[in-house]
Amino acid sequence: MHSMILRSFIAPTFQKMRHSYALQAFSSNALQSSPKARLNIPIDFSSTPILAHSAEDAIANPELKSELSSGATKRMNLCQSINDALSLSMAKDDSVILFGEDIAFGGVFRCSLGLLERYGAERVFNTPLCEQGIVGFGIGAAAEGLKAVAEIQFADYIYPAFDQLVNEAAKFRYRDGTHGRHAGGLTVRMPCGGVGHGALYHSQSPESLFTHIPGLRVIIPRSPLQAKGLLMSAISSKDPCIFMEPKALYRATNEHVPTEVYKLPLSKAEILKEGKDITIVSYGQPIYTCSAAISAAEVDFGITIELIDLRTVYPWDKECVLQSVKKTGRCILVHESMINAGIGAEVAASIQEDKDTFLRLEAPIMRVAGWSIHMPLLYERFNIPDVTRIYDAIKKIINY
Amino acid sequence: MKRFLQPCRVNLTLHSKTCRMRCSSSLSQRPGAASVCFPGAVNSKFTKTLKFELPSSYPAIPTYRAMAPDGEIIDPEFTPVPDQIALDMYVNMLGVCIMDMIMYDAQRQGRLSFYMTCQGEEGICVGSASVLEKADIVFSQYREAGVFKQRGFTFSDFMNQLCANKKDPGKGRNMPIHYGSKSLNMHTISSPLATQIPQAAGAAYALKLQRLTNPSIPSRIVACYFGEGAASEGDFHAALNIAATRSCPIIFICRNNGYAISTPTLEQYRGDGIASRGVGYGIDTIRVDGNDVFAVREVTRRAREIALQDGGRPVLIEAMSYRISHHSTSDDSFAYRARIEVEDWKRRDNPVSRLRRYLEKLGVWTDEHEHTTRTRLRKEILQAFAEAEEEKKPPISTMFEDIYEDMTSETKTQMLDLRSVLAAYPEEYDLTAFQGE
């Protein structure tokens, strides 16, 4: 969809960005922060409690215990763990194919690096530059028994394929009735979210457009370990999956990831940190921002805050969120995409709609999210929820 | 720094390797070369004449015909089909024709919510389907009842779907004429136009890959049907291009019947129909007289052979016809075309009468055959319709199933919510037509 000029322009730009991440991980963040800042300081991915900094941390994950036969891990960034998930899925199952724009040489974000050499040009291939074709082709291949893993180069370019996703992939099983055919073998991967300078068409987070569509599973991982397990589940799922990869985390996040095959459950939220005064619900990149805001607020206000990662934003784990809010009585929803009709709207409505949880609410539910505007180049850091805005919401909700 | 640069270096080597493979003679232009070696058009000769290519300077792609409207075989190369096959095709075309008349009237009487006839296009459907293997996969648009009939769909199968009863495999979820069949390898029809075309390309790629993995599987193709209006959708472009670049074993069959609802082809395109586009995508292409069931059959038979060559090759068939019927029961086509034009087409030439003339000349069909067959078909159809109308509708809970492989807790809750509303207000809902639970 995007012009070739933009494409050739953006690839070196992202390479440059990867360069700076590799050498000075936080230089672009550092440029943004005020010298006096206490809250809006760059996220320190090397110490965040969200990532598994040691093999022991990774293996200690209770969801993995039954999945793993050995404790072998390897430090991977998000690109590498996605590559690992794709590679293991292809090794395990001959029917897995990988296709999209520019994926054969490794992909513009390097997520498919080395897979053509390992699995052959019949299973890993470039398509013409046409998103509706990519998704339509994937649906047909899935309907005839392949596990089709399609890549859309940026989530911002999924819209030409919207008809194929909404009217076809999502409804395939329903309309086929007792024949039982479906497009469940389809997984559509796409990089999403802000990256510092992606502006209007390299920053979008369109997840809520997909959560209005029964039949699709929408998954957004927060880390390399999570991405691998969730992607392996998405590929083997019998429902069509939208797998959104926060591109800001591709190289920023590094953690120990089990090297074996393992899966993490879809439509299951995860409580990352327990607390009793406030529940914060988020997913994807802002999980790190929430974690930083929580650390500051807990010290400043002497409270404890529960942090929940939804992971699958639809069909989502309502039970987990309701249980938490029943306990804390306060809830803040954080996401990068716009406030209007975002994931936060659905979660907030569901909380107040549940009669038991409604009675426990001690403050209005709050949303900290992107403003209802397009992502502007210069102003990205004022648009994406930052530590200060989340901290401020925490302050307001406890003082209500 | 090193860690970052390494993948790039690997990538550059790979890239130049691909280039060499594509254009083995040379990457750079040889001095004095007569033709271009730009990677985008490797065989283009240089010219000193500045001349635009004019569509009007190219003759229209010819239309292949084996049999004249009077039923006479005109292609000396054409091998006549065995009589029984010709008779079977005729009866299938007649069957669809009679079903169309009955169901059109049934819709007018309010016994069906919707219907679409295929008058004028029975030849394209029956002729092409008659040479497809049962294991071939079919994707259709909605005016392909003849393909379903030829592949073994029964009148009861049609009627159960049209009446949305509990025997409808689609569980009463879709509008009438959105047929599908797993056992006949026909994908369920969906209303959005052209969406099936790139899907068909993907399905064809799956067949190709399955055979590469296991050469003992018999070779199969995909046949994908669509109208000339649908060919204006982006999905048509997407599909032909990806089918060509991925060398998929697929036959694209375009029914060019002159109208997309009210839009005549002059407002649909200005090129030489749909066929001229196939060449642009690097796809073997042919145009055929869609009123000539033998021509369509022969063209499809050869297309199937081509589609299986070299591990897979797409083929485009543009079958010319005229939509005699209204677009659907929601359309009065005399609002945009003259009644006389339609009458003229009906009288002058149509696929059913053409094949009938052939069979009569052959001496295997008479007025008496015609009369008894029509009576028999009419009876079978009416009986299937009556039975389908009698059947109960599926249970209401069916509406909540098959969204995902397993029902989500959200959907379960909503199903119970609806159930309690139905129970609390029994006078407000008439549930007698539905099967309980």
Q: Parallel, antiparallel, or unpaired: how do β-strands A312-314 and A217-219 relate?
A: antiparallel
- Strand order through the sheet with B250-256: B63-64, B284-289, B315-320, B250-256, B222-227, B137-139
pLDDT one-digit tens code per residue, B98-132: 999 999 999 999 999 999 999 899 999 999 999 99
Q: Parallel, antiparallel, or unpaired: how do β-strands B137-139 and B315-320 relate?
A: unpaired
Q: Do B235 and A133 touch (CB under 8 A)?
A: yes
How far is B318 from B166, CA to CA, in rounded Å? 38
pLDDT for B347 equals 78
Residue A137, chain B, CB below 8 Å: the answer is yes
Same domain, B305 and B414: no
Same domain, B240 and B326: yes
pLDDT for A178 equals 97
Contact A242, A312 (CB under 8 A): no
pTM given for the model? 0.93
pLDDT for B14 equals 38
Q: Which helix (H) or strand (E) holds B397?
A: none
Same domain, B380 and B275: yes
Residue B137, chain A, CB below 8 Å: the answer is yes
Tokens (6 digits) for B430: 């008439």
Same domain, B382 and B405: no
Number of structural domains chain B divides into: 2
Q: What residue numbers bound the domain in which A392 lies?
A: 268-397
Give which of B298, B302, B277, B279 is closest to B289, Cα–Cα: B298
Same domain, B407 and B380: no
Cα–Cα separations (whole angstroms), residue B6 to A111, B12, B95: 15, 10, 67
Same domain, A62 and A181: yes
Same domain, A200 and A343: no
State the pLDDT confidence band at B260, using cuts at 50, 70 and 90. confident
How far is A312 from B383, CA to CA, in rounded Å? 51
Instruction: Specify which residues B186 forms β-bridges with.
Output: B138, B181
State the nearest Cα–Cα gap between A317 and chain B, in angstroms: 9
Q: Do B202 and A136 touch (CB under 8 A)?
A: yes
3-state secondary structure of A104: coil
Cα–Cα separations (whole angstroms), residue B225 to B142, B196, B201: 9, 9, 12
| Cis before A315? omega within 30 | yes
Q: Which helix (H) or strand (E) holds B248?
A: none
Q: Do B209 and A146 touch (CB under 8 A)?
A: yes
3-state secondary structure of A277: coil
Same domain, A283 and A250: no
Residue B15, chain A, CB below 8 Å: the answer is yes
Same domain, B277 and B408: no
Does residue A231 belong to any structural domain of this protein? yes
pLDDT one-digit tens code per residue, A333-342: 999 999 999 9
pLDDT for B29 equals 64
State the pLDDT confidence band at B6, using cuts at 50, 70 and 90. very low
Q: Which helix (H) or strand (E) holds A96?
A: strand A96-100
Residues A394, A220, A250, A203, CA torsion sign: negative
Residue A140, chain B, CB below 8 Å: the answer is yes
Tokens (6 digits) for B288: 């055929």
pLDDT for B168 equals 98
* Active-site annotation holds for A306: no
The domain boundary residue, chosen from A201, A227, A256: A256
Contact B434, B396 (CB under 8 A): yes
Same domain, A131 and A229: yes
Contact B290, B284 (CB under 8 A): no
pLDDT one-digit tens code per residue, B304-331: 999 999 999 999 999 999 888 888 888 8
When pLDDT is averaged across residues A229-245 and rounded to a whole number, the result is: 98
Same domain, A154 and A282: no
Does residue B42 belong to any structural domain of this protein? no
Residue B29, chain A, CB below 8 Å: the answer is no
For chain B, the helix, strand and coil percentages under 3-state DSSP, each to the nearest 5: 50, 10, 40
Residues of B in contact with A22 (CB under 8 A): 1, 3-4
How far is A42 from A31, CA to CA, in rounded Å? 9
Same domain, A85 and A212: yes
For chain B, first and last CA: distance in Å? 66
How far is A56 from A121, CA to CA, in rounded Å? 38
pLDDT for A316 equals 98
- Residue B41, Cβ neighbours under 10 Å: how many? 9
Q: Do B202 and A145 touch (CB under 8 A)?
A: no
How far is B428 from B422, CA to CA, in rounded Å? 8
pLDDT one-digit tens code per residue, B15-70: 433 433 444 444 566 777 787 778 888 788 999 999 999 999 999 999 999 999 99
pLDDT one-digit tens code per residue, A308-329: 999 999 999 999 999 999 999 9
State the pLDDT confidence band at A31, using cuts at 50, 70 and 90. low
Same domain, A330 and A366: yes
Angle at alpha carbon of residue A238, lines to B405 and B252, rounded to 5°: 110
User: Residue B199 above 80 pLDDT?
Assistant: yes
Does residue A227 belong to any structural domain of this protein? yes
Cα–Cα separations (whole angstroms), residue B320 to B192, B228, B334: 23, 10, 21
The domain boundary residue, chosen from A209, A235, A256: A256
3-state secondary structure of B194: coil
Does residue B91 belong to any structural domain of this protein? yes
- Residue B96, Cβ neighbours under 10 Å: how many? 29
Averaged pLDDT score across all residues of chain B:
91
Same domain, A59 and A89: yes
- Residue B135, Cβ neighbours under 10 Å: how many? 12
Same domain, B343 and B417: no
Contact B293, B126 (CB under 8 A): yes
Number of structural domains chain A divides into: 2
Does residue A42 belong to any structural domain of this protein? no
How far is B102 from B17, CA to CA, in rounded Å? 63
When pLDDT is averaged across residues A217-246 and rounded to a whole number, the result is: 98
Q: Which of B:376-405 have CB within 8 Å of A?
A: 402-405
Cα–Cα separations (whole angstroms), residue B101 to A224, B326, B378: 62, 12, 10
Residues of B in contact with A178 (CB under 8 A): 169, 171
Same domain, B380 and B416: no
User: Residue A3 above 60 pLDDT?
Assistant: no
pLDDT one-digit tens code per residue, B86-101: 999 999 999 999 999 9
State the pLDDT confidence band at B7, using cuts at 50, 70 and 90. very low
User: Residue B423 above 90 pLDDT?
Assistant: yes
How far is B132 from B135, CA to CA, in rounded Å? 8
User: Residue B5 above 70 pLDDT?
Assistant: no
User: Residue B225 above 50 pLDDT?
Assistant: yes
pLDDT for B416 equals 97
pLDDT one-digit tens code per residue, B139-195: 999 999 999 999 999 999 999 999 999 999 999 999 999 999 999 999 999 999 999
Tokens (6 digits) for A80: 């590498």
Does residue B35 belong to any structural domain of this protein? no
- Mutation pick from A123, A130, A175, A212 vs chain B, by most beta carbons of B within 10 Å, is A175
* Active-site annotation holds for A67: no
Q: What are phi and psi of B274, to 5 degrees?
A: -90, -35
State the nearest Cα–Cα gap between A400 and chain B, in angstroms: 32
When pLDDT is averaged across residues B403-409 and rounded to a whole number, the result is: 98
State the pLDDT confidence band at A18, using cuts at 50, 70 and 90. very low
Q: Do A164 and B205 touch (CB under 8 A)?
A: no
Residue B169, chain A, CB below 8 Å: the answer is yes
Does residue B179 belong to any structural domain of this protein? yes
Task: Residue A338: give its domain's CATH number.
Answer: 3.40.50.920
**Residue among A131, A168, A207, A270 flagged as catalytic:** A131
Task: Residue A238: give its domain's CATH number.
Answer: 3.40.50.970
For A342, residues 6+ apart whose C-beta sits below 8 A from its C-beta are: A208, A335, A367, A369, A370
Place of tokens 């300077």: B57
How far is A178 from B437, CA to CA, in rounded Å? 17
How far is B260 from A18, CA to CA, in rounded Å? 51
How far is B381 from B162, CA to CA, in rounded Å? 12
pLDDT for B35 equals 78
- Mutation pick from A98, A102, A172, A179 vs chain B, by most beta carbons of B within 10 Å, is A179
Same domain, A155 and A272: no
Does residue A41 belong to any structural domain of this protein? no
Same domain, B370 and B415: no
Place of tokens 């609410």: A361
Does residue A293 belong to any structural domain of this protein? yes
Cα–Cα separations (whole angstroms), residue A91 to A66, A183, A239, A256, B10: 21, 22, 21, 22, 23
ipTM, interface predicted TM-score of the complex: 0.92
Contact A224, A255 (CB under 8 A): yes
Q: Which helix (H) or strand (E) holds B305?
A: helix B293-308
When pLDDT is averaged across residues B251-270 and rounded to a whole number, the result is: 92
Does residue A387 belong to any structural domain of this protein? yes
Does residue A183 belong to any structural domain of this protein? yes
Same domain, B148 and B174: yes
Tell me which range, A279-283, B213-217, B348-352, is most confidently predicted by mean pLDDT: A279-283
Give which of A130, A109, A190 is closest to A156, Cα–Cα: A190
Same domain, A276 and A250: no
Task: Residue B284: give its domain's CATH number.
Answer: 3.40.50.970
How far is A286 from A294, CA to CA, in rounded Å? 12
Same domain, A171 and A140: yes
Q: What residue numbers bound the domain in which B123 lies?
A: 60-390
Residue A178, chain B, CB below 8 Å: the answer is yes
Does residue A24 belong to any structural domain of this protein? no
The domain boundary residue, chosen from A256, A280, A302: A256
Contact B275, B286 (CB under 8 A): yes
Query: How many helices and strands (H and E) does chain A possess?
Result: 17, 14
User: Residue B73 above 50 pLDDT?
Assistant: yes
Q: Do A174 and B199 touch (CB under 8 A)?
A: no
Same domain, A251 and A279: no
When pLDDT is averaged across residues A371-375 and rounded to a whole number, the result is: 98
Place of tokens 């988020």: A282
- Residue A17, Cβ neighbours under 10 Å: how many? 20
Does residue B19 belong to any structural domain of this protein? no
Q: Which of B:196-255 have CB within 8 Å of A?
A: 197-207, 209-210, 212-213, 234-235, 237-239, 241-242, 245-246
Q: Do A175 and B187 touch (CB under 8 A)?
A: no
Nearest CA in chain B to A172: B188
Does residue B15 belong to any structural domain of this protein? no
- Mutation pick from B205, B212, B393, B401 vs chain A, by most beta carbons of A within 10 Å, is B205
For B204, residues 6+ apart whose C-beta sits below 8 A from its C-beta are: A140, B137, B221, B222, B243, B248, B249, B250, B312, B314
Same domain, B75 and B209: yes
Does residue B9 belong to any structural domain of this protein? no
Residue B178, chain A, CB below 8 Å: the answer is yes
pLDDT for B229 equals 95
Does residue B11 belong to any structural domain of this protein? no
User: Residue A16 above 80 pLDDT?
Assistant: no
Same domain, B254 and B401: no
Place of tokens 């180069």: A153
Least confident residue range of A8-22, A137-151, B245-259, B414-428: A8-22
Contact B356, B291 (CB under 8 A): no
